[in-house]
Amino acid sequence: MHRNNTKQGLKARLDHMFTDREFFMRSHGQVRFLTISATLQKRVFYSVAAALAFWLIVTLAMMVNQLTVSEERMALAQKEAAVNSTENRVATYKQSIEGVAAELKQRQDVLDQMTEQFVGEPPAASKQGQSDEELSENTRKISAAFPEAAHLAQIEARQILFARRLTSAAIQRTEQAAEAIRKFGLNPDKLAKNSTDAMGGPLIPFFRGKDQHLHPTLERLNLALQRMDALERTLIAIPSGKPSSTGMITSSYGYRRDPFTGGGAMHSGIDFKGPKGQPILAAAGGRVTHAGWKSGYGKAVEITHGNGLMTRYAHLSRIDVAAGQRIEQGIQLGAMGSTGRSTGTHLHFEVRLNGRAINPRPFLEANTDVLKVKAIARQRTKAPGHTQSGTSRG
């Protein structure tokens, strides 16, 4: 019913638009009348509309056809590029065996440098006589076409295989570090970003030739090792050591009744009760950014660990470190006391992330698996010949 009404309404509008129209012309004193009927006007209108619709359909079909042809051309271009790449590699080997040897030596230098920087020891020698299944397609073709280049091609294949295995190992360690960081209640991606957003230095190209780009396999390895290094250093910087050997907690993190006013208050740390003079230890390595009196906290020490993390040790009776000093986890910072706003001898311990206090309990209750991953990461960063990055060690 509604559809019929719509059709009738549309027909009425068209009838209203197209009515018989009469024109008159005067010529030499005579008047002539020209009548254009509504039927003729409708025929002309429908003809023009049909022509426009046909034109639009043809144009759309041409565009679709052009896109299809473009996609086919792109696919063909990619196939040609793959073929040309293989042919170019073959030509390169054929033109200069010495040039290929120099390229492989540079690649080996990159592998050695990456492994020493991020793993801490020179890479183990690859096994000789890898099977044909482990050689790349290009390597097999080159070996078959140019027997004199077979040895170099096999070296290249072993290098790439070694790089892929090292990449896989780096990704596995990265995932372990990320999971350990999550168990502390922290976001590994945000913390890792903090550790890599301040970088710089003069440009010293690694390669001496014009092409400064790494082989794709080495580029993936480099990215994997960079992320592994960032996350493991982030994990090391997380405070997980106990600041005191005493296990008696007198006040936890969160809401409590203030011991002086009796009113509700936010407690930004954990209080450990113990005897005066009890050693206070660094929960993680870092740099001492405050060592002295701090309003409300009394004698206090603050350690910045990197990635926005900071620990605070308050109400001390004695301070044994100085501002600017770099310390390791477990180093004695001072002795327990009752200075500042305190009702008795105890340690007030805080953990802050980007200036905001967070609950220290997850850091103090880290399980054995998390601590094992952290110990492995710390051992790597302390290995002989290992290059230190900007993140502080723990």
Whether 322 contacts 291, CB under 8 Å: yes
HSE, side-chain direction, 13 A CA sphere, residue 39: 0
Confidence (pLDDT) at 387:
45
Residues of the chain under the 50 pLDDT cut: 122-132, 134-135, 198-200, 202-208, 384-394
Condensed to tens digits (0 to 9), the pLDDT of residues 14-44 reads: 666 767 776 666 666 666 666 777 777 777 7
Q: Which residues pair with 294 in a beta bridge?
A: 298
> Is CATH 2.70.70.10 correct for 249-365?
yes
Q: Tokens at residue 271, please?
A: 């209080």
Whether 304 contacts 285, CB under 8 Å: no
Confidence (pLDDT) at 348:
95
Confidence (pLDDT) at 207:
47
**Chain center to CA of 267:** 34
In 55-152, DSSP assigns E strands to none
Residues present in the chain in total: 394
Q: Give me the residue spans of the domains in the chain.
A: 20-95, 97-196+213-237, 249-365
| Distant-in-sequence, close-in-space partners of 325: CB < 8 Å, separation ≥ 6 | 287, 288, 291
Q: Tokens at residue 8, please?
A: 């009738």
Condensed to tens digits (0 to 9), the pLDDT of residues 361-375 reads: 888 887 777 888 888
